[in-house]
Amino acid sequence: MNVSAVGPELMLTFIEQTLQPGPPVSLSCSSSANPAPRIVWKLEGAEIRGGGEDGYSLGSYTVAGYPSGVMVVSHLNISSARVIHGGLYTCEASNGVGKPVSHSAALNIYGKL
């Protein structure tokens, strides 16, 4: 199957949520494109790297053979939601073809630390 270069398109996005501190949270975002898109997560415009003591972890998997090339599904996981995790989250997909696409929604966390 020969697929031409295609810019990213968001396929699945997350919704705004309001929570109390404590439970784990997982946000998902997927994009299809050719070549495969790279998905970056941001909180209030700052890139989230994951893997630190901040409670974030990132994961993704790729689905080949998608009609428009490749679909990448990315997850942003918070091990235990805290007030400091609240804010506007953005997933941004890019692959060097066309313009990057993004989706943003708020994660509101209210209550005691």
Q: Assign residue 29 the CATH number of its domain.
A: 2.60.40.10
The reported pLDDT for the residue numbered 66 is 73
User: Would the pTM count as exceeding 0.95?
Assistant: no
Tens of pLDDT along 27-84?
999 999 999 999 999 999 999 988 767 899 999 999 987 777 899 999 999 999 999 9
3 in a structural domain = no
1 in a structural domain = no
Total of domains in the chain: 1
Q: Find the domain containing 44 and state its range.
A: 8-109
The reported pLDDT for the residue numbered 2 is 57
12 in a structural domain = yes
Query: Could you write out the DSSP letters of every residue in 44-100?
Result: TTEEP--SSTTSEEEEEEEEEEETTEEEEEEEEEESS--GGG-EEEEEEEE-SSS--
The reported pLDDT for the residue numbered 53 is 73
The reported pLDDT for the residue numbered 103 is 99
